Amino acid sequence: MAFQRKDRKKGDDYENEGGLEDSVIQIYRCSKVVKGGRRFSFAALVVVGDRNGKVGVGYGKANEVPNAVEKGKSDAIKNMIEVPLRGSTIPHLVLGRSGASSVRLVPASDGTGVIAGKKIRPLFELAGVHNLLSKAYGSTSPKNLLKAGMDALKQLRSAKTISELRGVEV
């Protein structure tokens, strides 16, 4: 993939060829001490979405930041899910869990906006949700928050899907 990145910072959004946008949530730096000094490695937590019902979260590690971001982005594309939407919000209340983090998502009326924390907001925005209330419980670790948010989005079902499962017309 030929992307030109000169000065990418955390939280930057870039649009690439597939109609997908990505947002770097966090860059982690790890160091190990060797004979010549410290050797750093980097990890990137990335969210990818098309703002129209598809979103994914990825995690990539490398010795340089741009490589870690690329790996995270390709991992996010592999882990994309389809999110059922009802207008500009979600169909129903849902609770997602991962590790010590829990995220509660509540549908909101038009004009509310995305009420969410700094680290989890891009997940909902890139999924195409415009009105949503959310509350994070427990650990606020970005990795677990995003996993809990993805768990919540996976649990969403549209009225059409439920009617097909039950064999009843809505």
15-35 pLDDT per residue, tens: 455 789 999 999 999 999 999
The tens digit of pLDDT for each residue in 98-154 reads 999 999 999 999 999 999 999 999 999 999 999 999 999 999 999 999 999 999 999
Alpha-carbon distance 73 to 79, whole Å?
Answer: 10
Residue 4 pLDDT class (50, 70, 90 cuts): very low
Q: Which pTM does this prediction carry?
A: 0.85
CB 156 within 8 A of CB 92: yes
Domains and CATH numbers, the chain: 13-81 (3.30.160.20), 83-162 (3.30.230.10)
